[in-house]
Amino acid sequence: MIRLHLLLLTLVTSVSGPVFGQPVEQQEEQPAISEGTEAKSKLPLEQLQTFADVFYQIREGYVEEVDDSTLFEYAVKGMLEGLDPHSVYMTREAYSDLQTQTDGEFSGLGIEIGRRGSYIEIIAPIDGSPAAEAGLQSGDVILKLDDTSVKGLSTDEAVDLMRGPVGSSILLEIGRPGEAKPFEVTIIRDKIKIASVRSRLLAPHYGYLRIAQFGRSTGQEAGEAIQKLATDGPLRGLVIDLRNNPGGVLEASVAVADLFLDEGEVVYTKGRHPSAGDSYSATSGDALSGAPIVILINGGSASASEIVAGALQDRRRGIVMGTRSFGKGSVQTVLPISESRAVKLTTARYFTPNGRSIQAEGIVPDIVVERAQVTSVEGRRITEADLQGSLTGDGEANPQDEGAESESLANLRENDNQLYEAFTLLKGFTLLAGSMPAAPASSPAEVANRESTDD
């Protein structure tokens, strides 16, 4: 027990030590702490004694011998997992994986996960990943990984089970909202290379910018993509697709919003510690010179993608369309506690420029459009031109075939009705502005064909 009490003394000493990993000599520069806060920060000896007693009983009576360091790791993990789904204890391997994902390449299934009760929920599959190709969706709940139930597992433990050699398979049991029974799906592990930004023209002068997640270089990549889209002339409108974007680097989301905002606040954070509060602002200049923007979001849009959508919505720079976003509005800070260990701790909340908290609320679209399979019910319509003996028009013949145009629009609606609505809204903005677009009437067919191959 003497050694145990010495370990507890070390724990108490570490609690009163550096805040947010700062050197001890800098602590005097921190803002003064009130008496109430100082009293609250002291660990009560009675509860420490209870912890010591439980520790001792496990150490002496558990069916298998467990060393002290392992028990302390379990205790730390339990403390963090009891706070919120995103605060975790990180081993060297976990921290290395975090860095690798931030850089845009890692191995695995290609899903962003979080905890839902005792199970693991899929926040979003990554574009082009094995998980996306297998048909996994945002909101799916993982019940089993091979023969192992994930009930009660931490996200790190679930990730460890999902990792494996490239080419190896894993069997997932999935529960999907709206379906009566769980189903199984086998996924082949692969190297996940995240194409952070993809772009194309929906029609001449109408751009499409797909951001799959926010890595370190996403802001720069998005800026270059917009320049490329505008090669043949200024864009008259842009769709920014943030659906199933699980987030990523905060600074990257600020850089993307900065492309379209001419100064002003993008997002700010607030936390209990003074250093957790910060504000991020845009610089002068708008890459689209005020051209209209539609931002697509859904339940898989989280964190950094919600920052972009919320900023453009609050600043009235774009119309948000789709369905309510995921609602991850918390900031995690990685705090090293040794050379091989770190803590990822939730330290603040995100707020949009108008002061809205994203956490557990999400971003509500300006125009709600559910993803749906849309089929025309009109069929072939009889027009004046079909009537026997009808007069011909006085004007020049229309070189475009109306039937082909209707068919191309129907294909676009069937492939992605949300993108179709966003595209037509952009064209509506142009018409209201009194400038007819130069796009040919048949251009939606190209959109439908590209959509079926690219997404």
CA nearest neighbour of 86 among 259, 315, 271, 329: 329
Give the per-residue pLDDT at 27.
Answer: 27
What is the per-residue pLDDT for 362? 95
Q: What is the pLDDT of residue 34?
A: 39
pLDDT in the model for residue 106: 65
Is the four-CA dihedral 344, 21, 306, 246 of positive or negative sign? Answer: negative
Q: What is the rounded CA–CA span in Å between residue 30 and residue 18?
A: 10
Chain-centre distance of CA 118, in angstroms?
22
Q: What is the pLDDT of residue 102?
A: 56
So which residues are the catalytic ones?
A: 303, 314, 328
CB under 8 Å to 170, separation ≥6 — which residues? 109, 145, 146, 161, 162, 164, 186, 187, 189
Q: What dihedral do alpha carbons 356, 361, 364, 369 form, nearest 10°? A: 170
Residue 168, SS3? Answer: coil
pLDDT tens-digit profile of 420-450? 999 999 999 988 876 544 444 334 444 344 4
Residue 29 structure tokens: 């520069």
Average pLDDT over residues 338-346: 84
Could you state, in order of their start, the residue ranges of all structural domains in the chain?
92-193, 197-368
Between 33 and 418, the more confident residue is: 418
- For 253-268, the pLDDT digits (tens) are 999 999 999 999 999 9
pLDDT, residue 448, reads 41
Nearest to 322 by CA among 253, 177, 425: 425
Between CA 188 and CA 161 the distance in angstroms is: 13
Please report which helix (H) or strand (E) contains residue 412, including its range: helix 402-415
The arithmetic mean of pLDDT across residues 344-362, rounded, is 94
Q: pLDDT class for 396, splitting at 50, 70, 90?
A: low
pLDDT band for 53, please (50, 70, 90 cuts): very high
279 SS3 class? strand
Rounded Cα–Cα distance for residues 406 and 404 (Å): 6
Please give the pLDDT value at position 379: 60
Secondary structure (DSSP) of 182-220: -EEEEEE-EEEE---EEEEEEETTEEEEEE--B-TTHHH
pLDDT of residue 195: 72
CATH number assigned to the domain covering 92-193: 2.30.42.10
CATH superfamily of 197-368: 2-enoyl-CoA Hydratase; Chain A, domain 1 (3.90.226.10)
Query: With contact defined as beta carbons under 8 Å apart, do 204 and 444 qualify?
Result: no
Inform me whether the pLDDT recorded for 129 exceeds 90: no
pLDDT in tens, 208-259: 999 988 988 999 999 999 999 999 999 999 999 999 898 988 999 999 999 9
Least confident of 128-142, 171-185, 363-377: 363-377
Please indicate whether the domains covering 92-193 and 197-368 agree at the CATH topology level. no
pLDDT at 33 > cutoff 50: no
pLDDT average, residue stretch 36-59: 77
pLDDT tens profile 277-297: 999 999 999 999 999 999 999
Kindly report the average pLDDT of the chain as a whole number. Answer: 80
pLDDT tens-digit profile of 77-114? Answer: 899 989 998 898 887 676 666 665 555 556 789 887 87
Q: Are the CB atoms for 106 and 215 separated by under 8 Å?
A: no
Contact 358, 352 (CB under 8 A): yes
User: What distance in Å separates the CA atoms of residue 164 and residue 170, rounded to the nearest whole number?
Assistant: 9
Q: What pLDDT sits at residue 338?
A: 78
Smallest CA-to-CA distance from 334 within 40, 127, 145, 102 is with 102
pLDDT at 240: 98
**Higher-pLDDT residue of 181, 342:** 181
Comparison of pLDDT for 127 and 308, the residue scoring more:
308
**Quick one: pLDDT at residue 442?**
37
Nearest-5° angle of CA 97, CA 173, CA 182? Answer: 140
pLDDT at 305 over 90: yes
SS3 334: strand
Greater confidence, 329 or 397?
A: 329
Distances (CA, A) of 242 to 295, 305, 440: 7, 6, 27
Rounded average pLDDT over 120-140: 88
Beta-bridge partners for 183: 174
Greater confidence (379 vs 180) lies with 180
* CA 413/CA 455 separation, integer angstroms: 14
pLDDT of residue 186: 96
pLDDT-based confidence at residue 155 (cuts at 50, 70, 90): confident
Q: Is the pLDDT of residue 334 over 90?
A: no
Bridge-based pairing state of the strands 148-149 and 183-188: unpaired
**Tokens at residue 165, please?**
């050699």
